[in-house]
Amino acid sequence: MRSMRILFLLLVFLTTFCVGSLAESEESFTSAREELVQKIEEDVRSTRFYIDKESLDPKVMAAMRSVPRHEFVPRSLRSYAYENRPLAIGYGQTISQPFIVALMTDLLEVAPTDRVLEVGTGSGYQAAILAQLVQRVYTIEIIEPLAKEAEERLERLEMSNIKTRIGDGYYGWSEAAPFDAIIVTAAAGQIPPPLIRQLKEGGRMVIPVGSGFQTQQLLLITKEGEDRITTRQILPVVFVPLTGSH
């Protein structure tokens, strides 16, 4: 009888310890996200002459506060999840620097009713940020195991307004087009014509363009008419290259 009581007390202790540790971890992650947002704000101010703004949309910053970046990095790198830098996620790919994620999202100027295409799902973090702000996110990833991992992760986090696909994002997602906005998270050698065709008139696309890991520019493209776009250089960046048959 005494041994049963000891076992019961031990189970109660372990349960309380685990719940307490989990709550403490979530609290520390929340605090880390707040610190990350402050670092992003510092980067915005330091690059204001490039990006032509002193601050980002508060709704974008709220999304950065709410999405758990530690869920989108390998477990071995979770302690670095809220550092303002890119991290390796396997298969030669990275999760982008949070400042760049926030900036690219802000440049799209999305609305709650928008439908957005993302080229390059990666771990799913950028899609998760967008999902806080728009009606539907369509995201394409060419690396099959990465795409499947991202899909499972997004389902587990109950982000039901994100639709995933395995494929070559250079060619877009014609069945779901046109899109209010398009975001490309890998560097293309040129602006992909299929993506321009799938962008609504008045829509915006943010894309890094350049050769490999050499000089790349983050571009903001606005579709002014069926055959007319305007392009603005935002700032120099370094992204993994956009891969595929193109």
Q: Is residue 92 part of a domain?
A: yes
Say which residues have a Cβ less than 8 Å from residue 13's Cβ, sequence separation at least 6: none
The more confident residue out of 111 and 6 is 111
User: Average pLDDT of 91-116?
Assistant: 98
Amino acid identity at 151: E
pLDDT at 5: 53
Q: Is residue 107 part of a domain?
A: yes
Q: Is residue 20 part of a domain?
A: no
The label of the residue with tokens 């000089």 reads 215
Q: How confident is the model at residue 225 (pLDDT cuts 50, 70, 90)?
A: confident
pLDDT at 244: 86
Q: Is residue 197 part of a domain?
A: yes
Q: Is residue 19 part of a domain?
A: no
Q: How confident is the model at residue 11 (pLDDT cuts 50, 70, 90)?
A: very low
Q: What is the pLDDT of residues 122-147, one digit of tens each?
A: 999 999 999 999 999 999 999 999 99
CA nearest neighbour of 191 among 166, 177, 210, 168: 210
Q: Is residue 211 part of a domain?
A: yes
User: Average pLDDT of 157-177?
Assistant: 98
- State the chain's mean pLDDT as an integer: 91
Distance of alpha carbon 120 from alpha carbon 159, whole angstroms: 17
Q: What is the pLDDT of residues 204-221, one digit of tens each?
A: 999 999 976 668 999 999
4 pLDDT above the threshold of 70? no
35 pLDDT above the threshold of 90? yes
Q: What are phi and psi of 174, to 5 degrees?
A: -60, -35
pTM of this prediction?
0.89
Q: In this structure, what CATH number is given to the domain that contains residue 233? A: 3.40.50.150
Q: How confident is the model at residue 19 (pLDDT cuts 50, 70, 90)?
A: very low
User: Average pLDDT of 58-81?
Assistant: 97
pLDDT at 228: 92
What is the tally of structural domains in the chain?
Answer: 1
Domain that residue 104 falls in:
29-237
Distance of alpha carbon 110 from alpha carbon 57, whole angstroms: 10
107 pLDDT above the threshold of 80? yes
CA angle 119, 241, 42 (to 5 degrees): 80
pLDDT at 214: 66
Q: Is residue 166 part of a domain?
A: yes
- In three-state secondary structure terms, 132 is coil
Q: Is residue 183 part of a domain?
A: yes
Residues with a known catalytic role: 96
Q: How confident is the model at residue 24 (pLDDT cuts 50, 70, 90)?
A: very low
186 pLDDT above the threshold of 70? yes
